[in-house]
Amino acid sequence: MVGSWLTRWLTESGAYTVAFIADSDPQSELMRSGTINKVNVVNGRLENYDDIERAINNHEVDSIFHLGAQPIVGAADRSPRHTFESNIQGTWNLLDACRTLSPLVKRIIVASSDKAYGTQPVLPYTEDMSMNGDHPYEVSKSCTDLISTTYARTYGTPVTIARCGNIYGGGDLNWNRIVPGTFRSLLRGEQPVLRSDGTFIRDYLHVDDIVSAYLALGEQTDNPEFAGQGFNFSDESPLTVMQIYKAICAAAGRADTAPNILNAASSEIKDQYLDSTKAHEVLGWHASVSLEDGLKKSFDWYRALLTGKK
């Protein structure tokens, strides 16, 4: 999802853009918007070093947004090896290719997650906290961040790390996530399902805001002062799962719909939310999309995808 919208912004801004893609999905925003026809596509896998080096070297890439990962907590629990290979090995492959091809690559922005902090005794998360993941997905993100910092401090690799909470918006096709899953259930006339008990607390950030965050961070990443540093991105308005659920239903015009509460979430940190003071002060970045507007835009996208109505 994020890659689709970021790529669209880059191409519309006139950037020579290369998309590194393992698998294609005709329903993805990258395909549906036609952006795929405006970029150079390299097919490959993060687990294969030669694929990454070929993409960077052949296209003389100077700026990299490292968004590729296995992003689903449940999938990580079922197949930790694949998640570690994709998220951890994939990151060191990328950074080592950038080290080898230096000084061609001027900036690398690594897309991380609040999950990298793991369970902490005090919230919100701040950038001076340790990487403390426990479960497979969390550990994969903790390792991603530590490896990125290692390359910056040892080899001077120009890499920064972006951490955010739950990103939502049109184009997210992971239906087990609460925003797309609830919209799909409502559009199908089905009862939406909550995996948790509804009390878990999370950040929710619209994809437009995270694209602007990555771009703001990218503008500073070639500054040696910021090499290896992490930045939190949040609207700093954390919500319970039940609160976001009600807002989703309201955006779809179904505010009175009761969910099926499974209370079966596993390998999930109960409460997670971020402090973005550093991003405000250093990057001048602030979230600009309200929850109401973001969910309305998202619902319009899913309605067009699932029903053909705009």
DSSP per residue, 161-200: EEEESEEESTT---TTSHHHHHHHHHHHTPPPEESS-S--
Please pick, among 137, 151, 204, 273, the residue that the annotation labels catalytic. 137
Q: Report the distance separating Cα 95 and Cα 146, nearest Å.
A: 12
Rounded-to-integer distance, Cα 84 and Cα 47, Å:
10
Report CA torsion sign: 7, 234, 158, 23: negative
Residue type, 179: V
For 52, 168, 198, 212, 286, the CA distances from 209, given in Å and listed in that order, are: 28, 10, 25, 5, 8
Tell me the C-alpha distance between 273 and 3, whole Å. Answer: 23
Reply yes or no on whether 137 is catalytic: yes
- The Cα–Cα gap between 97 and 75 comes to 27
Per-residue DSSP letter, 126: -
Q: Note whether 179 and 298 are within 8 A (CB).
A: yes
Could you tell me the two tokens for 135?
Answer: 């479960």
User: How many separate helices (H) and strands (E) can be counted in the chain?
Assistant: 12, 12
Asked if 274 and 236 touch (Cβ cutoff 8 Å), the reply is yes
Edge to edge, the sheet with strand 107-111 lists: 63-66, 107-111, 159-164, 230-233
Backbone torsions φ then ψ of 94, nearest 5 degrees: -60, -50
Say if residue 307 is exposed, middle or buried (CB neighbours under 10 Å; 0-12, 13-18, 19+). exposed
Structural contact between residues 58 and 16, judged by C-beta atoms closer than 8 angstroms: no
Catalytic residues: 137
